[in-house]
Structure 1
Amino acid sequence: MSGTRTEPVQLVDGRALRMTIAEPPGVIRGGLVVLHEARGITETVRALADGLAAEGWLVVAPHIYHGADGSSEIDEALAADRVSALSGDSVLADTDIAFGWLAQHGIGADRIGVVGFEVGAGVALVVAARRGIGAAVSVAGGSGILQPLSPGLPAPVEVAAELRCPWLGLYGDKFADEVATLREAANSSEMASDIVLFPATDHRFDIHPDGAFEAWHRMLNWFDAHLR
């Protein structure tokens, strides 16, 4: 049973957005913003939020597809339409609301991280290049490394050199050539970065138990090291 809840959130300045939230059972170590996959707030995203909350993080997943409640997954055709409608301004505005909500709960920017899954992986890298937070992780990113995910978003390789926080990228080795170019760009930034490739038939290495286990612990270790 999922321990998440979904509700509209409004900040004291009036900005509002629907979000899925998972709270830790004890002391809050910091805050994490989860950026969802192409099909929206799926059970995979909820499980990710639950697992991170169990590790002590206050977790919030903004619903970055506007005009729908985003509380359940959508089909691939609708997902493609909604991804194509994303823009840099809209995803940054949404993550800013999530950061503001965490700030209202007493969590400073140096204790806030962002983790993006699949499509959210590319968005997380854009956020890492545009916002001064504690750390960022991109998980199972696929297409959209060298090319924009949508006409309104920059390609991850275009912003990797502009990182403003430590960033970890976890990718399937199907995209090894693209990831090599991305690694070169990230290494030219002034921030710590690391990219790990996992054996996979496609970008979703996380469906393989060994890869999923290793990726989970690498993500936790990254946040442990940088969110203090």
Structure 2
Amino acid sequence: MQTEVTFTASDGTTLPGVLTAPTGVTGPGPALVMIYEAFGMTDEMRRVAHDLAADGYTVLIPDLFARGPIKPICVARAMRTAQRGEGRELDDLEAARRWLAELPDVDGDRIGTIGFCLGGSFALLLARTGRYKVSAPFYSGRIDLPRSCPVVASYGGRDITTRGYPELLEARLEAMDVPHDVVTYPEAGHSFFTRTSGMTGSLVARSPLHAEYHAPSAADAHRRIVAFFREHLG
């Protein structure tokens, strides 16, 4: 079941989000804070949340672009926060996590995070906080990790924007002795896990990011992240 919800940010602002709950699950269970890609709250992000809920996870997608009427400014501000590692979007994500943890069907001690593109960078930033049991970034930017929860990360080998980072991330996680599963899919590009339709999809597919859906890689990545979640969230 997918519903529109609201939660209160630390400054008192009411922010919207989308909550997707699994069916046929009784008692408090594991949950995920999901951070969307730069396109925002699309039908494709809702579909991904549905798929994760079908695997037994309550999924909250907070709308980080809801504070301003001009979306490109919101995107640029979020990108700046991701680069700096501090900013209002991270505060809003923490408010979303706290709201999610208080739901009667959610075990507040079993919350993970998953993010795509811009959201992947946020997922890694959240991995440093000590508040999440697991993080699943997809094609994230380069994030410094002084510490981390377990990480299952996925990248496309044809994506020039992340080239070299998966190896650095894996080496860092190994050095910290953090459980991890970092995979680069050689035939996939950026955004291989989701479908981008219309002219935008055609343009990004022809870009150096090779950003288009790649079904075999997406299917394997889904299998991996669910297995990793089962191990670290239950």
The TM-score bracket by the shorter chain reads 0.7 to 0.9
Instruction: Supply the distance in 1 between the matched residues of 2:51 and 2:69 (Cα, whole angstroms).
Output: 23
1:211 paired with 2:217, answer yes
1:47 — aligned with what?
47
Displacement after TM superposition at 1:78 (Å) = 5.6
Instruction: Supply the distance in 2 between the matched residues of 1:170 and 1:43 (Cα, whole angstroms).
Output: 21
1:31 — aligned with what?
31
Q: Are the equivalent residues in 1 in contact too, given 2:116–2:137 (CA < 8 A)?
A: yes
1:130 — aligned with what?
129
Q: What is the alpha-carbon root mean square deviation over aligned residues? A: 2.7
Query: Are residues 17 and 80 of structure 1, via their aligned partners in 2, closer, same or farther at CA, if it must alter by over 3 Å?
Result: closer
Q: Are the equivalent residues in 2 in contact too, given 1:63–1:69 (CA < 8 A)?
A: no
Superposed, 1:138-153 pairs within 5 Å as 138-141=137-140, 144-145=141-142
2:109 — aligned with what?
110
1:225 paired with 2:225, answer no
Displacement after TM superposition at 1:7 (Å) = 3.0
Displacement after TM superposition at 1:212 (Å) = 0.7
Unaligned runs of 5+ in 2: 194-212
1:168 paired with 2:167, answer no
Q: Encode CA deviations 1:38-62: one digit per residue, 9 max, x unaligned.
A: 1111122111111111222111011
TM-score, normalization by structure 1: 0.79
1:153 — aligned with what?
none
1:148 — aligned with what?
none
- Report the secondary structure of 2:40's partner residue: coil
205-214 or 87-96, which moves further after superposition? 87-96
| Letter in structure 1 aligned against 2:57 | W
Q: Are the equivalent residues in 2 in contact too, given 1:176–1:197 (CA < 8 A)?
A: no
Q: Are the equivalent residues in 2 in contact too, given 1:64–1:94 (CA < 8 A)?
A: yes
Instruction: Supply the distance in 1 between the matched residues of 2:188 and 2:228 (Cα, whole angstroms).
Output: 26
170-179 or 44-53, which moves further after superposition? 170-179
1:184 paired with 2:171, answer yes
Unaligned runs of 5+ in 1: 146-155
1:198 paired with 2:185, answer yes
Q: Encode CA deviations 1:199-218: one digit per residue, 9 max, x unaligned.
A: 23532332111001001111
| Letter in structure 1 aligned against 2:56 | G
1:57 paired with 2:52, answer no
Q: Are the equivalent residues in 2 in contact too, given 1:111–1:133 (CA < 8 A)?
A: yes
Q: Are the equivalent residues in 2 in contact too, given 1:109–1:133 (CA < 8 A)?
A: no
2:93 — aligned with what?
95
1:4 — aligned with what?
2
Q: 2:76 aligns with which of 74, 81, 87?
A: 81
How many aligned positions are there?
206
